[in-house]
A and B are shown apart, each in its own frame.
Chain A
């Protein structure tokens, strides 16, 4: 008999008991949802919190370019509102600060082949995404990733998303210090943290090693941390410039300064306090106003800071806040390569460049754009430029081999949708280039105008309005063809494209940004892109670009041509693109692009009516409902659902004659429901069972709020009795009774919750 993945990985050292339990619970939710026993909204948010996302056409509708079609999926329970069970979905995989070991790369390659389309997509948050994944496959996919030390937990949904950091942290010459251990510590601290479960929207965090470069993009995050040191009385301390309330989206908001110096030991507790304030005071009903930035604007940064610091003062000390700091000194800082081998490397490269001109000139050109010297002498950082952020499973395996051989067995995904290899000895660069070439991974132009960032857009995103990937592919091809002839000031610009205003492609912080929109012309819709110019990539996304108008998708390459040509010819000496755009002004830019906005009739130029890479006549009629943040499912509903799952487990234990265990799990089921209701009342996570019971008694029982209109207070007594008799030996009859009581208590908890919702409704 072939074991299942669950059986096979049961003892896998990487798969923690907690993660195993979570994945088993998710698998059970899948089967309960199939039986219609879990509400679709709740299931949708549950799967989103495990990174299982919707994908375009999963509403069962698709316009084929001629007619809208209903895709004839088998009738089944949905996997969320308007989401067909069997429709392929997207799986997002969290890769904190983009760091992957070679072994993890191999696992990622395997799951991409076994469950998706064999392609791995690097996102603008340093995650990996897989497309065309069936929901039934996701538990095994998660187990295999879990065994490799990778989680999908909280990759989507109203949660703390993947925490990002400079991919060159630890090897960068401009950084104050290596932010890696801090990003790692905050990632694991907030993952599944009870105080970070009740948000109205997603929550994004970034670290940057310095203020001047772009890598961390701290200003466009809910929480941004920029490394700083402070010397007082001759003692140098590490800390962070701490920014709050930034974000992109339809209306970008630059983060506000919370404090110029947050000492390192305050990083975790203050972040925790922000989470509590956000969970308590953040908007929950109106999604459009639910990001942290809205709360910061509403309260003002001063009062927001006061609320956070009050909350901070109330927190119970958690040893994890500072435990990781003890290990910092132990982080290996490998020795630099000796001067001798450094000069050997240089002379070797030179002699080769003279003799083997053809291949080496390709190497040299690649080196110019894709290799950056490391802070540690003798080492380099190599950027593997990925077209549209994609690589195949075979390429990922090849990359793992290169990483093992040349870069200490690790790579880091970047927000520019590439992967960097660090600690590559200069002397090995020729070999690395050769190995990457063999894998089709030695494309040059990293960090240039040809290295375009694009979100999934209409290719796979339910909210996509125009084909950001199609456009990026077209522009990239044009620039790659003539990259040797590009004016250096043009080559250094950044282009970023989003398929809609939600900004996943980060167009606001590009020199030249685009986001998808649609315009009507006669009976037809025409794909357009809004042009956004002059965003600032450097200084941690220091300022946002200027929207100058919408242009038909097919004329965007001409927009790029004209704007870059004007910059080359009209710029003042040393004038940056941002300054140039602001100097010439929106009116002049619009004038420059005016004729490009014209849309000829369909009969004259039908090509305007289809998008890049998609020959169908463009239509918005199959546009879906997004899941970018999921529905806001109140935390209490997760708790009540978890209690039902537990009482079901208790029933199974009874069936297996495990009476003690059945009674124990039945008690836990009641406690889970009670905790959910208490936390709703207190707006705080409550860990201790005694406190839950005390608060439940005071707030809900003694006030008679929990009382059933007919049965009075008896259901609460079930909880109190079980809590008191927890350690006593349990016989069969009592175990049965406790499971039944748990069932009744959970029913009562649901009834109570519904009563409170009704009471809260406006008359």
Chain B
């Protein structure tokens, strides 16, 4: 995967001419916040043979925090409930550790060599593009809020803060959202609008260039706030407002 968030402009693969896309008919939307500069980080596991470098991340350390999340029954979103915790921390640049719900995953993930916090929806997302994007972001920010406030989670990334100047947005659905320019063209306007509304800044979008991978874009803007539970709480509330506002949009 090309490092779309730490490099300058990339372009989306052209794809076959006349390819029809409908990215927002999909429920497979995800959003991800990064830990620090991607290139400087090494994801390690306390159990894996790779040496633990300073600034390394230990995803397995987050497992008890995920289980506590299930035990304390905190809300994950009104239509979701937790099922279990999956551990793939042994995989290189993999999905790490995640909480599985019936419709989504909340995870610490390193896919594409970019460690971060991810909310990935799988099913049951309804509404306009704005509503869907905002719903996914609201849950991601709620996760980030919990992450920053819970020492159990922080143990997984003791010296790292989440970045607040970039995020990755993607749609894992090769039928409706193949990784081609047409999808990028369809996704960019509503995604930019939501992110600009959230950050009050101009946002640059760079698409994933490898057509074999799921469609994704990296969104970047100038840093505006510190990575704290409070900041993510503000972003979560704003995203939730946009989710509601998006309901009045025509689909």
The CA of A106 and the CA of B87, in the complex, are separated in Å by 24
**Is B214 within 8 A of A113, CB to CB?**
yes
Closest residue of chain A to B70, judged by CB?
A: A64
Report if B64 contacts A (CB, 8 A). Answer: yes
25 pairs of residues in contact across A and B, judged by CB atoms under 8 Å:
A1-B20, A2-B175, A4-B175, A8-B175, A62-B83, A64-B67, A71-B83, A86-B102, A88-B83, A88-B102, A110-B212, A113-B214, A131-B86, A132-B100, A388-B90, A390-B94, A392-B91, A394-B93, A394-B111, A395-B91, A395-B92, A397-B213, A477-B48, A614-B67, A615-B64
Q: Chain B contacts of A388 at CB under 8 A?
A: 90
Partner of A390 from the list B81, B85, B90, B175 (CB cut-off 8 Å) is B90
* Per-residue B-contact encoding for A367-406, CB less than 8 Å = 1, 0 else: 0000000000000000000011011101101000000000
Q: Does any Cβ of A come within 8 Å of B84's Cβ?
A: yes
For residue A87, CB closer than 8 A to chain B, the reply is yes
Q: Is the CB of B81 within 8 A of A480?
A: no
On chain A, the residues within 8 Å of B12 by CB distance are none
* Closest 6 pairs (CB-CB, A-B): A440-B92, A480-B49, A477-B47, A387-B90, A392-B94, A615-B64
With a cutoff of 8 Å between Cβ atoms, the chain A residues found around residue B63 in the complex are 613-615
For the complex, what is the distance from the CA of A459 to the CA of B48, rounded to whole Å? 19
* A473 at interface, CB cutoff 8 A: yes
| Residue among B21, B71, B98, B123 making CB contact with A65, cutoff 8 Å | B71
The yes or no answer to A681 lying at the interface (CB within 8 A) is: no
Given contacts A106-B212, A387-B91, A477-B49, whether A394 and B1 have CB atoms under 8 Å apart is: yes
Alpha-carbon distance between A459 and B97 when the two chains are bound, in angstroms: 13
Report A-chain residues with C-beta under 8 Å of the C-beta of B94. Answer: 118-119, 390, 392, 395
Cα-based distance from A397 to B213 in the complex (angstroms): 9
Contacts of B105 in A (CB 8 A): 117
Q: How many of chain B's residues have a CB under 8 angstroms from any CB in A?
A: 45
Question: Are B100 and A88 in contact, with the CB atoms below 8 A?
Answer: yes
Besides A392-B92, A614-B67, 5 new A-B residue pairs in contact (Cβ under 8 A), listed by A number: A62-B84, A114-B172, A114-B173, A392-B88, A395-B94
User: Which of chain A's residues have a CB closer than 8 A to the CB of B95?
Assistant: 117-119, 392
Contact of A119 among B91, B123, B213 (CB under 8 A): B91
Contact in complex: B49, A481 (CB < 8 Å): yes
Q: Which residues of A contact B48 (CB under 8 A)?
A: 477, 480
Question: Could you tell me the distance between the alpha carbons of A379 and B2 in the complex, rounded to whole angstroms?
Answer: 33
Known contacts A65-B71, A440-B93; A459 and B47 CB within 8 A of each other:
no
User: Mask for A99-123, Cβ within 8 A of B = 1, else 0?
Assistant: 0000000100110011001110000
Cross-chain contact of A132 among B86, B90, B93, B173 (Cβ < 8 A): B86
Chain A residue contacts of B214, Cβ below 8 A:
113-114
Contact partners of B60 in chain A: CB under 8 A = 613
| B207 is an interface residue with CB less than 8 A from chain A | no
Expressed in whole angstroms, the minimum distance between the Cβ of A72 and any Cβ of chain B is 5
Task: State in angstroms the CA–CA spacing of A616 and B64 once bound together.
Answer: 8
Q: Is the CB of B20 within 8 A of A2?
A: yes
Mostly helix, strand, loop or mixed at chain B's interface?
Answer: loop
Taking a contact as CB atoms under 8 Å apart, the answer to whether B123 and A57 are in contact is no
Q: Decide: B91 and A73 in contact? CB cutoff 8 A.
A: no
Q: Pick from B71, B84, B172: contact of A57, CB below 8 A.
A: B84
B22, B49, B173, B175 pick with most chain A CB within 10 angstroms? B49
Q: CA separation between A132 and B87, bound complex, in Å?
A: 13
Residues of B contacting A440 in the complex (Cβ-Cβ under 8 angstroms):
91-93
CA distance A480 to B44 in the complex (A): 14
State whether the Cβ of B176 lies closer than 8 Å to any Cβ in chain A.
yes
Chain A, residues 228-255, CB within 8 Å of chain B (1/0): the string is 0000000000000000000000000000
State whether the Cβ of B209 lies closer than 8 Å to any Cβ in chain A: no
Q: Which residues of B contact A (CB under 8 A)?
A: 1, 20-22, 25, 28, 45, 47-49, 60, 63-64, 67, 70-71, 81, 83-88, 90-95, 98, 100, 102, 105, 111-112, 122-123, 172-176, 212-214
Q: Which of A62, A66, A394, A397 has the most CB of B within 10 A?
A: A394
Residue pair B84, A56 in contact (C-beta under 8 Å): yes
Known: A56-B84, A62-B83, A106-B212. A392 touches B93 (CB 8 A): yes
What interface size band does chain A fall in? 35 or more
- Bound Cα distance A131, B88 (Å): 12
In the assembled complex, the Cα of A744 lies from the Cα of B200 at a distance in Å of 69
Whether B212 lies near A57 (C-beta < 8 A) is no
Assuming the contacts A2-B20, A394-B1, asked whether A114 and B87 have C-beta atoms less than 8 A apart, the reply is no
Q: Give Cα A583 to B176, complex, Å.
A: 64
Docked complex Cα distance between A1 and B18 (Å): 11
Closest B residue to A477 by CB, please name it. Answer: B47
Q: Are A57 and B83 in contact (CB under 8 A)?
A: yes
Instruction: Chain B residues near A65: list those with CB within 8 A.
Output: 67, 71
A134 within 8 A of B: yes
Closest chain B residue, CB of each to CB of A478: B47
Q: With the chains together, A1 CA to B20 CA distance in Å? A: 7
B88 near A134 with CB under 8 A, answer no
In the bound complex, do residue B71 and residue A66 qualify as a contact, i.e. CB atoms below 8 Å apart? yes
- Chain B residues within 8 Å of A134, by CB: 122-123
Residues A119 and B88 in contact, CB atoms below 8 Å apart:
yes
Q: Is the beta-carbon distance between B21 and A2 smaller than 8 angstroms? A: yes
Q: Is A5 an interface residue (CB 8 A)?
A: yes
Q: How far is the CB of B25 from chain A (nearest CB, A)?
A: 7
Verify B81–A72 contact, CB threshold 8 A.
yes
Q: Distance (Å) between the CB of A469 and the closest chain B CB? A: 8
List residues of chain B with CB within 8 A of the CB of A117: 86, 88, 95, 98, 100, 105
A123–B81 Cα distance when bound, in Å, is 30
List A residues 1-27 near B (Cβ within 8 Å). Answer: 1-5, 8
Interface centre among A3, A86, A106, A613 (most CB of B within 10 A): A613
Q: Does A474 lie at the interface of the complex (its beta carbon under 8 Å from any beta carbon of B)?
A: yes
CB–CB B21/A439 < 8 A: no
User: In whole angstroms, what is the CA distance A62 to B83 when docked?
Assistant: 8
Chain A contacts for B64, CB-based, 8 A: 615
Query: Could you say which of B22, B83, B102 contacts A2, with CB atoms under 8 Å apart?
Result: B22
Q: Are B112 and A5 in contact (CB under 8 A)?
A: no
Contact: B91 with A390, CB < 8 Å?
Answer: yes
Docked complex Cα distance between A64 and B73 (Å): 10
Q: Give chain B residues whose Cβ lies under 8 Å from the Cβ of A72.
A: 81
Q: Which of A53-81 contact B (CB under 8 A)?
A: 56-57, 62, 64-66, 71-73
Q: A613 to B123: give the CA distance in the assembly, Å.
A: 28
Contact B67 A473 (CB under 8 A): no
Distance between B225 CB and nearest chain A CB, rounded to angstroms: 31
Q: Does A429 contact B (CB under 8 A)?
A: no
A613 to B63, CA, bound (A): 8
| Contact (Cβ within 8 A) A73 B102 | yes
The minimal Cβ–Cβ distance linking A286 to chain B, given in whole angstroms, is 33
Are B212 and A392 in contact, CB atoms less than 8 angstroms apart? no
Q: How far is the CB of A436 from chain B (nearest CB, A)?
A: 11
| Minimum CB–CB distance for A154 against chain B, Å | 27
- Chain B residues whose C-beta falls within 8 Å of the C-beta of A114 in the assembled complex: 28, 172-174, 214
Tell me if A441 is interfacial: C-beta within 8 Å of chain B.
yes
Report yes or no: B102 in contact with A391, Cβ–Cβ below 8 A.
no
